Amino acid sequence: MTDMKKQSRREFLRTAGLSGAFLTSGAAASLLAGPQLLSKKTSTAKPTAGAFKLKYAPPFGMFEASAGKDPLDQMKFIADQGFRAIFDNGLPGRPPALQEAIAGQAAKLSLEIGPFVAYADFSVESFVLRDESVREMLKAKLKTAIETSKRTGVKLALMVPGRYNQRMDWDYQTANVIENLKWCAGVCEPEGVVIVLEPLNPKDHPGLFLTRMSQAYQICKAVGSPSVKILDDIYHQQITEGNIIPNIEACWEEIASFHLGDTPGRKEPGTGELNFKNIFKYLSQTGYRGVLCMEHGKSKPGKEGELAVIQAYREADSFA
């Protein structure tokens, strides 16, 4: 990324008005400013070691041994440790009342909520087909996603385009994916919802259509909508192609969010080969203000493992 591009993005982030810009400027501005909550109330929690520099987002269950099973109690514990975000892949499947309670607790604690999963069926061909039944399925999934967004204020909805077809020319499949996403964008744009496409590695998930950052970038450019962007899962992309920071730079204007996980093992930073301190430093310098979802396991069980996760993020977050 050139110095001019970095300066321009930082200037936008400084003047965008954060959550106000998100709510009034539409999906395109929201992606530049980073996902924001509807409220920016001062947290009632007392962080034990100060707030993290970036918005690392634990999922529900990660600190269950320390905080108990109640998701609202877990959110309080997460805020007390200095985290500034959470995420819940399964948010659309929770009862509406609980969704609203989670959103209220997030606003109270000044926690952003990261992307939820709107559609990710790894077993079927879907986006690669030009089929009315696919559109009907997507219509139902988007309806649920939009309802969830309205209850919670979360604007990013994750989608995986499904499996590829072994008998169809690859370029036809790509064209079908683009056309299906254009149709989805037409549904999402008026609601301010942004679809984030997640490339997945072919070792863990063989047979899926979307695997590479450059492929996701090409599709987003072809769709040409502020409601279709990329979720960069660093764990998956280290396995698929490596070159993590250069690929982030190349895809920068199309990236809306991140998933985290070290490799091998898909555990917390410091347990594998990735240099997360350098990655986080790069993201901070480029002006990223969105959520970084901690979509990984723990290297140790129980409270000891939960403490190890917190300490790992403290170390990775200690970049200068």
pLDDT digits (tens, 9 = 90+) for 238-294: 999 999 999 999 999 999 999 999 999 999 999 999 999 999 999 999 999 999 999
Domains of the chain: 1-33 (no CATH), 38-316 (3.20.20.150)
Asked whether residue 296 carries a pLDDT value surpassing 90, the answer given is yes
Residues 6+ apart with CB under 8 A from 185: 195, 223, 225, 227, 228
How high is the pLDDT of residue 48?
A: 54
Strand order in the sheet with 255-259: 55-57, 291-293, 255-259, 228-233, 194-197, 156-159, 116-119
What does the block give as tokens for 131?
């089929």
Asked whether residue 14 carries a pLDDT value surpassing 60, the answer given is no
Calculate mean pLDDT across residues 104-118. Answer: 98
Give the total residue count for the chain.
320
Residue type, 283: L
Buried b (16+ CB within 10 A) or exposed e, 47-80: eeeebbbbbbbbbbebbbebbeeebbebbbbbbb
Asked whether residue 213 carries a pLDDT value surpassing 60, the answer given is yes
Asked whether residue 10 carries a pLDDT value surpassing 80, the answer given is no
Residue 38: pLDDT band with limits 50, 70, 90? very low
How high is the pLDDT of residue 49?
A: 65
Asked whether residue 125 carries a pLDDT value surpassing 80, the answer given is yes
How high is the pLDDT of residue 7?
A: 41
> What's the rounded Cα separation, in Å, for the pair 122 and 162?
5
Asked whether residue 25 carries a pLDDT value surpassing 50, the answer given is no
Calculate mean pLDDT across residues 183-206. Answer: 98
Beta bridge partners of 116: 157
How high is the pLDDT of residue 312?
A: 98
Written as one string, the DSSP assignment of 130-186 is --HHHHHHHHHHHHHHHHHHHHH---EEEE--BBPPSSS-HHHHHHHHHHHHHHHHH
How high is the pLDDT of residue 16?
A: 31
% pLDDT > 90, the chain: 85
Q: pLDDT per residue over 66-82, tens digit each?
A: 999 999 999 999 999 99
If you average pLDDT over every residue of the chain, what do you get?
A: 88
What does the block give as tokens for 273?
């080969």
How high is the pLDDT of residue 286?
A: 96
How high is the pLDDT of residue 13?
A: 33
Query: pTM of the prediction?
Result: 0.85
Beta bridge partners of 57: 293
